[in-house]
Amino acid sequence: MFYGEYSHSIDNKGRLILPSRLRDAAKGNFIEKFYITRGLDKCLFMFGEEEWRAVEQKFKTMPFTKQDSRKFNRLYFSGAVEIVPDKQGRILVPNYLKDFAAIKKDVVIIGVANRIEIWAKDLWNEFYQTNLESFEDTAEKLIEGL
């Protein structure tokens, strides 16, 4: 449902404009509320409410008696914030999330099917360049047998 790669900037008030195609996709899927949290690889994950609830349900079933489970859930859910874009499609990204993802001003927003990822532009460029060469090998390993 969310696809593409978009370059944007955080404004002086800490707001980020969601690309119109992502806003249209959200509207087409009746998504009005999002949740943003710490993601993996130093980016932010942003889910529509229904997808957030599905992920939340999965993570709630992780055994709290396991230390890794407790650590992951603490960091993942303590970082979460509910976001409703304003009429111009802007969202306010909290400072602690911007700090986590090393976001200063320039960002890359990518659609990854069921979620949106928000990256510091330099970290996205580094990730992209580092992983592009292995894209086909990775696909071969993951997609084999599907």
What domain range is 126 assigned to? 2-143
Q: pLDDT (tens digit, 9 = 90+) per residue, 57-114?
A: 999 898 889 999 999 999 999 999 999 999 999 999 999 999 999 999 999 999 999 9
Q: pLDDT (tens digit, 9 = 90+) per residue, 15-38?
A: 999 999 999 999 999 999 999 999
List, edge to edge, every strand of the sheet that includes 106-113: 2-9, 106-113, 115-120, 44-48, 34-38, 81-83
**Is the model's pLDDT at 145 over the cut of 80?**
no
Instruction: Measure the CA–CA gap between 115 and 117, rounded to whole angstroms.
Output: 7
Number of domains in the chain: 1
CATH number for 102: 3.40.1550.20
